[in-house]
Amino acid sequence: MLGFGQSRKPEQRTDRLPVLVEVIQNQEIFALAQKVWNLNNRYVRKGAANKKEFLRFGLVDAKQAVWLERDEGRHDAFELILTWWENETQFADIYALVPAPGAGQSGDPTYPKQVLDALLSAPATLPVDKPI
């Protein structure tokens, strides 16, 4: 379900910049991220160096990880980070998730929605409760 390599368009991949960053302004996606956060709140950890609160989800494939994080004390934005390895290169997709003002929205919420839905329903995605 979480085939991370599927999310990138082949023309967006390069050896120089194996990271895709996208801002998603969407009420539904933000609400899903908030739900994942609230349901897994007991697993939230704090990064001393970067002042982030985060959840890290372990997947069946050890070369893949999902992170949901936000700045300490901030409740109006999340970062959804997906990391995986292909051959000997590590790739990452980073989605900044923010609520949309009014009825507006921006960005393509399709893939982040699939990931968040999977985190809410797939038994193979469990928060990691141990140091990294």
Phi, psi of 113, deg, nearest 5: -65, -45
pLDDT, average across residues 106-129: 79
Q: Which alpha helices (H) appear in the chain, and where do they start and end?
A: 27-39, 110-121
Residue 12 confidence (pLDDT) above 70: no
pLDDT at 87: 84
Q: Tell which residue, 53, 99, 104, 100, has the closest CA to residue 76.
A: 99
pLDDT at 2: 44
pTM: 0.78
- Do 24 and 97 meet the contact criterion of CB atoms below 8 Å apart? yes
pLDDT at 78: 97
